[in-house]
Chain A
Amino acid sequence: MTLLHFQLLSAAIFCIGLYGVLARRSAVLVLMSIELMLNAVNLQLVAFGAFSGFGTSTGQVIAVFVITIAAAEVGLALAIVMRLFRSRGGVNMDEIDVMRG
């Protein structure tokens, strides 16, 4: 189990998340794909921290911050999504393209 295993897995999850962001049409599903991408980044950070041999906790600390910011972002983004739903009746990402309203 070398670093390469974790790196490839993390790249795979990141690209699957990227596919989800680009191909999905519902805002909530796009958010879920963004969560997948953030998790892939976390995995790589922690893998670097564990395999680096320095014994510092930098990887894990940054991963904690990424989790925190992801939680904040999801909360805000879903509040916006619910607001959009209330004013428009749908959360189709293709139709949300005007700034007004």
Chain B
Amino acid sequence: MGLALFYAAAFLTLLASFGVVATRNIVHAALFLLAALAGVAGLFVLLYAEFLALVQLLIYGGAIIIVILFALMLTRSGEYEGETETRRRPFAAVAAALLFGLMTAVFVADAEQFNTNTRQAIPFRTLAEDLFAAWAVPFEIASLVLLVALIGAVVIGRAGREEDETLPEDDEPDDAEGPVRRGSRRRAERRRRGV
């Protein structure tokens, strides 16, 4: 039963990965990527790593795919994939096939040594304790990396967009004559109203 589930999830993932690299419509490619990531999440569940599967769904499906979709829709990248420039495809296919052959050879050659059939479930508490005790320094460094990426993305995205930085309500009113103190503005308004 587990093997059947594995083959189903593996088939879905492979099909979706082929879809990512082969389709011409880029939004379809993003959806295929979502399917591939969901397939990998299913494989994590088969490996008894449920927390990681949910983290994968949350971060990839709920953040990265959304960012990719935003970038796709805002940059209209789709117009460039329809062109039939296929010069590089044979070389890429050969390189990928060579690497796959090499990896398969190495894995199969070592398979007798590591041929275990039992998957071990790591308790969730062990993962949590390790992450915050033994791996505390990489954890903090990873959070720093995220902070740097956040600030960097905001800075890169904002540079050169001064016309979008203020809301319309923040602009100076059209009839303002220079910096006026609030008190005098109130008096001027009262004078204008004739009170």
Q: Residues of A at under 8 Å CB distance from B?
A: 1-9, 11-20, 22-29, 31-33, 35-36, 39, 42-43, 46-47, 49-53, 55-58, 60-61, 63-65, 67-76, 78-83, 85-86, 90-92
Q: Is the CB of A53 within 8 A of B116?
A: yes
Query: Could you give 18 example pairs across A and B, Cβ below 8 Å?
Result: A1-B6, A4-B111, A9-B14, A13-B14, A15-B99, A20-B20, A22-B91, A22-B96, A25-B85, A29-B81, A46-B49, A50-B48, A53-B120, A74-B67, A75-B67, A76-B149, A78-B70, A79-B152
Is B188 interfacial (CB-CB < 8 Å)?
Answer: no
Is B176 interfacial (CB-CB < 8 Å)?
Answer: no
Counting contact residues on chain B (CB < 8 A from A), the size range is: 35 or more
Q: Is the CB of A69 within 8 A of B107?
A: no
Is B142 interfacial (CB-CB < 8 Å)?
Answer: yes
Tally of A-B residue pairs with Cβ under 8 A?
A: 245
* Neighbouring B residues of A11 by C-beta, 8 Å: 99-100, 103-104, 107
Q: Which residue on B lies nearest to A7, using beta carbons? A: B107
* Neighbouring B residues of A9 by C-beta, 8 Å: 10, 13-14, 43
Q: Is the interface of B mostly helix, strand, loop or mixed?
A: helix
Q: Is the CB of A74 within 8 A of B68?
A: yes
* Neighbouring B residues of A20 by C-beta, 8 Å: 20-21
Q: Residues of B at under 8 Å CB distance from A?
A: 2-3, 6, 10, 13-14, 17-18, 20-21, 26, 29-30, 33, 36-37, 40, 43-44, 46-49, 51-52, 55-56, 59-60, 63-64, 67-68, 70-72, 74-75, 77-78, 80-81, 83, 85, 88-89, 91-93, 95-97, 99-100, 103-104, 107-108, 111, 114-122, 126-127, 130-131, 135, 138-139, 142, 145-146, 148-150, 152-154, 156-157, 159-160
A27 to B44, CA, bound (A): 29
Q: Is the CB of A68 within 8 A of B96?
A: no
